[in-house]
Amino acid sequence: MQRQDKGGLDMKSWQGAAAICVNEKREVLVVRSADTEIWSVPSGGMEEGEAPEECCIREVAEETGCQVKIVKKLQVKQTVIQGIEVTTHYFQVKKTGGRLEVNDPDFNIAEACWKKVEEYEHFKQMYPEDLSLIKEIAGISKPVY
């Protein structure tokens, strides 16, 4: 059985963006999925005609209420999840405004907050492989990309 997107079309691939935002206190901006204790950096799927950078900025605003600017592109992660080719563009971002509040139109996010990197390390994470990038941006480890 093939997955279908919201429009009912067969979905064989998915593209999105993820934001890694670490503040001067070495806290990372993270979100908790609805009805779970699973955490991740803000991320989501690209809309039609949207560039990865635009998707990243929009997803952070929707999921956390924070306004951000792109600092630099970090990596592109490609994997297959449940038969779907997934491409996620990772960006380092800096908070420029806004305040913490979840505005997720898909109702997938229950909470947004800042967590010390050392504390976040012990949380149940949706993508534990992101931790090395988060630590590198926080100045805790050497570059991994």
DSSP code, position 42: S
Query: Residue 20's CB: how many other CB atoms inside 10 A?
Result: 23
Specify whether the backbone of 105 is left (phi greater than 0), alpha (psi in -120 to 50) or beta. Answer: alpha
| Distance set, CA 129 to CA 42, 49, 84, 132, 134 (Å) | 15, 29, 19, 7, 10
The pLDDT tens digits for 112-143 are 999 999 999 889 888 888 999 999 999 886 55
Q: Are 107 and 31 in contact (CB under 8 A)?
A: no
CATH of domain 13-131: 3.90.79.10
The pLDDT tens digits for 66-105 are 999 999 999 999 999 889 999 999 999 999 999 999 988 8
Q: Are 47 and 5 in contact (CB under 8 A)?
A: no
Q: Collapsing DSSP states into helix, strand and coil, what is residue 66? A: strand
Q: What percent of the chain has pLDDT over 70?
A: 90
In sequence order, what are the beta bridge partners of 16? 45, 88
Ordered by start, the domain boundaries in the chain are 13-131
The residue ranking higher by pLDDT, 54 or 121, is 54
Mode of pairing for the β-strands spanning 27-33 and 39-40: antiparallel
For residue 143, the model assigns a pLDDT of: 52
